[in-house]
Amino acid sequence: MAVITVERKPLTFAERTYIPQIVGGLKTTFKHLVRKKQTLEYPEQRPAIPAGYRGVPTLVKDPNGREKCVSCQLCEFVCPPKAIRITPGEIPADQPDRAHVEKGPQAFDIDMLRCIYCGLCQEVCPEEAIFLQNQFSMSGYTRAEMVNHKDRLYELGGTLPDQHFKWDHKKAAAEHGNAH
């Protein structure tokens, strides 16, 4: 096995005294002293949120106000810190517009103290029911306040336009099939 020797260039006097590094640091300090301040009066002023920001995960409803979540539990299984807990429940028979849906979430909880904002829950959701919103500041006085339950998740998420109108399409296809 061949040994390769790398010759080191000897340090100059200035490099050995660290003077160039000290002068560079002082230059940066003085530059910050004379420039305009960039302080924001938070929470009245908030920083601009960059495109693609992954914030708080929330549940959304379709444009007709129906729950999009069908309790498939994929988001719960894919969540690395196990921050999502779903309790599946039955869909009441008195909802004819959801006759093709087998189940819905009886309880849906996201522990924001465990959430790492990775976005895997949004990526894996086949119904596009969970989205990461632009909210970046959440606070609470107790651990219980930091667990978002189903009602709070829908309040934060609201209604988003549906890209596919998946359920309406299935309903129209079923009606069209019955007409023939």
Which amino acid makes up residue 126? P
Phi first, then psi: give them for residue 34, nearest 5 degrees.
Answer: -95, -10
pLDDT number for residue 144: 94
Q: Name the E strands within 1-126.
A: 57-59, 84-90, 103-111
pLDDT number for residue 147: 95
pLDDT number for residue 168: 61
Q: Is residue 64 part of a domain?
A: yes
pLDDT number for residue 173: 55
pLDDT number for residue 166: 61
Q: Is residue 108 part of a domain?
A: yes
Q: Is residue 71 part of a domain?
A: yes
Residue-range definition of the domain harbouring residue 159? 57-175
Q: Is residue 156 part of a domain?
A: yes
pLDDT number for residue 134: 85
Structural contact between residues 174 and 99, judged by C-beta atoms closer than 8 angstroms: no
Q: Is residue 76 part of a domain?
A: yes
Q: Which helix (H) or strand (E) holds 31?
A: helix 19-34
Which domain CATH number covers 94? Answer: 3.30.70.3270
pLDDT number for residue 158: 86
> How many angstroms separate the first and last alpha carbons of the chain?
82
118-150: buried (b, 16+ CB within 10 Å) or exposed (e) per residue? bebbbeebebbbbbbbeeeeeeeeeeeebbbeb
pLDDT number for residue 82: 96
Is residue 75 helix, strand or coil?
helix
Count of domains for the chain: 1
pLDDT number for residue 53: 87
Q: How many CB atoms lie within 10 A of CB 159?
A: 14
pLDDT in tens, the chain (180 residues): 789 999 999 988 888 899 989 999 999 999 989 998 878 888 888 888 888 888 899 999 888 888 889 999 999 999 999 999 999 998 877 776 666 778 889 999 999 999 999 999 999 999 889 999 888 778 899 999 999 999 999 999 888 776 655 656 555 555 555 555
Q: Is residue 157 part of a domain?
A: yes
Q: Is residue 14 part of a domain?
A: no
> Tell me, what DSSP letter sits at residue 145?
G
Q: Name the E strands within 84-170.
A: 84-90, 103-111, 130-132, 147-148
Rounded distance between C-alpha atoms, residue 45 and residue 163, angstroms: 33
pLDDT number for residue 122: 94
pLDDT number for residue 81: 96
Q: Is residue 27 part of a domain?
A: no
Instruction: Give tens-digit pLDDT for 131-170.
Output: 998 887 788 999 999 999 999 999 998 887 766 556 565 5
Which amino acid makes up residue 130? I
